Amino acid sequence: MKNEILVIDDNSDIRFLICNILKEKDYLVRSAANFNQAEIEIDKKLPDLAIIDIKLDKGDKDGIELLKKITKKDKSIPIIMISGHANVQLAVEAIRLGAYEFIEKPFSTEKIVNYVKRALESFKLKKEKDTIESKLFYSFELIGKSPEISKIRKLIDKLSITDSRVLITGPTGSGKELVARKIHKNSSRSNSPFIVLNSSLLQEKKYEKQLFGEEFSDGTISYGFLEMANKGTLLLDEVSEIPLETQANILRVLIDQKFKRINGMSNINVNIRIISSSSKNLNALVSSGKFREDLYHRLNVVPINLPSLSSRTEDLPLLINYFKSKLSEINGVTEVEIDTSNDNLYTYDWPGNIRELRNLIERISILAVNENFLDTNKLINDILSEKNTEDYKEDIIKKAMSFPLKEAREEFEKRYLLNQIKKNHGNISKTADHIGMERSALHRKLKSLGIKDLN
């Protein structure tokens, strides 16, 4: 399908020139010669991209008003502002209000075509990204009734009325990005961008360009994550991986709320909420000199620590039922029956945490339907037994073999009782019934093994 572009300019020669250039490139083109015509065209149908002259027939900032009108209807539509009376203040205002780019007249055919191409590619990618995010994140909820998750859910609600920086820590796969997205979605910035900088995936030499953007000799610009997140939220995912030199530059942005693009001369002012996440101990990295202490304190205004899945197994039934329902909806498959009392679900360590559980449920849902596999319990046991490798089992045996008999027996009893308690969601009475002990005797045994704080 061809992209449709709306060209708004009161200069008939320039309007005719831009329209012809775009038609030659096989775009569908509509045009408007004044403010009133432009309003009619915008109300009639929103284009895929708009090119707007700032100064029209009603005043110096007519184009700005049209920019506001379009972005209010759909902020994802790229808008290129043009002007023969450009000044820095006007350009900054246009970008701040959501313009994709600001071009000064006169401009070359190559320049306008390049900007249009880039803007439409950006528009397409953003639409695709939003669709994926809607499936992967915005449709998922923070599930659990454990005290830790209940506390985090309440904290997210409190953070919705502030712009405080947040540092989310927790093991890999525990849901750090999901929590960051919930904070953004509940905040006053929810209609503005949520941008993720995955620090662990970038090459060291690319951090500065990805963060700050770059200006090229032909006048074109590559926008960085900071600029793309303006007025919204920037998640610095795995912030511990950012090089020390770049950490210093990020600290300066947090202090000044402005920066320069690579090869740029002008300051870019930004208003961004920063949320950071890390699966590593940042305190330890600060102590070893691998992370800046001043940046750590700037980022760690409100800390949120996500627990591992193995430490909150009382949430497993809720999570399993939620994921099997949600994933059947997303993947278009029949919802399968899963026995949430399966012992292996509670004795498994879940090194990949919530992500690993979600992947397991998705795998079971697909295999059970496609292969008519009715015994999902056997499927779960087979998959989890694959993950419990022989090396892991041998390591436990070797450890036990190094103990005297009394200590080895105590180690076994401790593991056994902890697993049974997990399976019964921390309920001591149910655990005692299940293993055939009196409740008071179980309490004494737990005390003798040094197992505390289970209630």
Task: State the average pLDDT over residues 154-178.
Answer: 93
Residue 367 has a pLDDT of 78
Q: What is the overall mean pLDDT for the chain?
A: 84
The domains found in the chain, sorted by start residue, are: 4-128 (3.40.50.2300), 139-307 (3.40.50.300), 310-388 (1.10.8.60), 391-448 (1.10.10.60)
pLDDT band at 373 (very low <50, low <70, confident <90, very high): low
Say what percent of the chain tops pLDDT 90: 42
Entry field: residues in the chain: 455
- Highest mean pLDDT (candidates 51-55, 165-169, 242-246, 378-382): 165-169
What is the β-pairing status of strands 166-169 and 302-305? parallel
pLDDT digits (tens, 9 = 90+) for 411-430: 777 777 877 777 777 788 88
For every residue of the chain, which 3-state class applies, written as one string? CCCEEEEECCCHHHHHHHHHHHHHCCCEEEEECCHHHHHHHHHHCCCCEEEEECCCCCCCCHHHHHHHHHHHHCCCCCEEEEECCCCHHHHHHHHHCCCCEEEECCCCHHHHHHHHHHHHHHHHHHHHHHHHHHHHHHCCCCCCCCHHHHHHHHHHHHHCCCCCCEEEECCCCCCHHHHHHHHHHHCCCCCCCEEEEECCCCCHHHHHHHHHCEECCCCCEECCHHHHCCCCEEEEECHHHCCHHHHHHHHHHHHHCEEECECCCCEEECCCEEEEEECCCHHHHHHCCCCCHHHHHHHCCEEEECCCHHHCHHHHHHHHHHHHHHHHHHHCCCCCCCCCCCHHHHHCCCCCHHHHHHHHHHHHHHHHHHCCCCCHHHHHHHHHHHHCCHHHHHHHHHHHHCCCHHHHHHHHHHHHHHHHHHHCCCCHHHHHHHHCCCHHHHHHHHHHCCCCCCC
The position carrying tokens 């995936």 is: 201
Helix 376-387, helix 353-370: angle, nearest 10: 130
Amino acid identity, position 331: N
Top-confidence residue, 117 or 87:
117
In contact, 357 and 323? CB cutoff 8 Å: yes
Helix 428-435, helix 439-448: angle, nearest 10: 100
Residue 149 has a pLDDT of 95
Residue 379 has a pLDDT of 82
In contact, 399 and 412? CB cutoff 8 Å: no
pLDDT band at 392 (very low <50, low <70, confident <90, very high): very low
Residue 183 has a pLDDT of 95
Task: From residue 237, give the alpha-carbon distance in Å to each of 143, 153, 167, 176.
Answer: 21, 20, 10, 9
Helix 109-133, helix 12-24: angle, nearest 10: 60
**Model pTM greater than 0.75?**
no
Residue 138 has a pLDDT of 47
Residue 94 has a pLDDT of 82
In contact, 38 and 32? CB cutoff 8 Å: yes
pLDDT digits (tens, 9 = 90+) for 326-372: 888 777 778 888 888 888 898 888 989 999 999 899 888 887 766 55
pLDDT at 163 over 90: yes
Helix 428-435, helix 405-423: angle, nearest 10: 120
Task: State the average pLDDT over residues 396-424.
Answer: 68
pLDDT band at 201 (very low <50, low <70, confident <90, very high): confident
Task: State the average pLDDT over residues 166-188.
Answer: 94
pLDDT at 407 over 50: yes
pLDDT band at 80 (very low <50, low <70, confident <90, very high): very high
Task: State the average pLDDT over residues 64-89.
Answer: 84
Top-confidence residue, 265 or 452:
265
pLDDT at 165 over 70: yes
Distance (Å, whole) CA 232 – CA 184: 8
Residue 124 has a pLDDT of 80
Residue 390 has a pLDDT of 44
- Highest mean pLDDT (candidates 5-19, 106-120, 213-227): 5-19
Distance (Å, whole) CA 86 – CA 382: 67
pLDDT at 5 over 80: yes
Task: State the average pLDDT over residues 24-45.
Answer: 91
Distance (Å, whole) CA 298 – CA 70: 36
pLDDT digits (tens, 9 = 90+) for 277-303: 999 999 999 999 999 999 999 999 999
pLDDT digits (tens, 9 = 90+) for 108-144: 888 899 989 988 887 787 776 665 555 554 457 899 9
